[in-house]
A and B are shown apart, each in its own frame.
Chain A
């Protein structure tokens, strides 16, 4: 019976996330998913770029966007990408405690980013940019909001892993899970690079 078997400890392999077939499958399938996500965001970017000048008398990009706020949000997300890189490095090193610490740091930075985004949307709504005010408004909220939903999902995902595996140590089961969550987090940052450039910088300067 399985429950009577003694747990035999495994030796830490150099890449624990890819040491099992399941881990390798998750890795490849997750990249397949990210390829699809690229197309999802591509269509939202295309819609926004096609509609961004139709403000219908409502507030436009140059009236609303504040570069200092966007700069802070960009730096928070970029730093959270680096903390999740450190988490993976510590996982490969076999240092479970530091893996958890860096992952929690990533979660906290993600929450900080979300806080700024909620404040930003709240401010815009106050300045008269409701979702249905103009084609610019709805395409803007859909694009940036979909990204924000991804950040929310990423925060919940990583938090779930951190609570579920708070005491387990690194195993061949959870190493691929942490690794794919980190890939997802990097992808969120990749999308944000396009958002701050195409939406905010072009909105103010173009």
Chain B
């Protein structure tokens, strides 16, 4: 592997083990997709129905959103895989700064405006 031509087409098939792993993975991904469709629908129905009081609905849909985002990150984007320590640090660092930004902006704009 001293000189590898990166533009050469990759030949051969994935190994038996890789195939098995990918088959298992696509099953996991379909299950998480169905689950995400389910929680999205739940969130929409919670707001659309008049029976559920908004005092319960607001924290509930925010919780559902967090669950879905974590599923996207860890299943669809594979942040649960091995060797993703830095990736986790970067994204959670970003989310940490973003959360402080949201809190600061909400509070500051509210105070100066009213």
Contact = CB atoms under 8 A, between A and B. Distances in A.
Interface in B19-70: 19, 22, 25-26, 29-30, 33, 36-37, 40-41, 43-44, 46-48, 54, 57-58, 61-62, 64-65, 68-69
Interface of B: 4-15, 18-19, 22, 25-26, 29-30, 33, 36-37, 40-41, 43-44, 46-48, 54, 57-58, 61-62, 64-65, 68-69, 72-73, 76-77, 86-87, 90-91, 93-95, 97-99, 101-106, 108-110, 113
16 contacts: A7-B8, A31-B91, A32-B90, A34-B94, A35-B90, A42-B102, A43-B102, A50-B109, A82-B33, A94-B10, A171-B10, A173-B7, A189-B76, A190-B73, A205-B57, A205-B61
Contacts of A50: 105-106, 108-110, 113
B102 A205 contact: no
B44 A67 contact: yes
A7 B7 CA distance: 8
Given A12-B10, A50-B106, A92-B18, A38 B29 contact: no
Given A39-B98, A175-B10, A206-B57, 4 more contacts: A10-B11, A42-B98, A49-B102, A206-B58
A176 to B, nearest CB: 10
Given A39-B101, A46-B101, A67-B48, A171 B69 contact: no
B6 A201 contact: no
B58 A28 contact: no
Given A10-B8, A11-B11, A85-B76, A28 B87 contact: yes
Contacts of B64: 197
B96 to A, nearest CB: 9
A52 to B, nearest CB: 10
A20 interface: yes
A36 B87 CA distance: 12
Interface string A38-81: 11011101110111001000000000000100110011001101
B10 A169 contact: yes
Contacts of A170: 9-10
A35 B93 contact: yes
Given A31-B90, A74-B40, A93 B22 contact: yes
Contacts of B46: 201, 205
Contacts of B26: 85-86, 89
Interface string A1-28: 0000101111111101000101000001
A46 B104 contact: yes
B47 A194 contact: no
Given A28-B87, A183-B77, A197-B62, A20 B47 contact: no
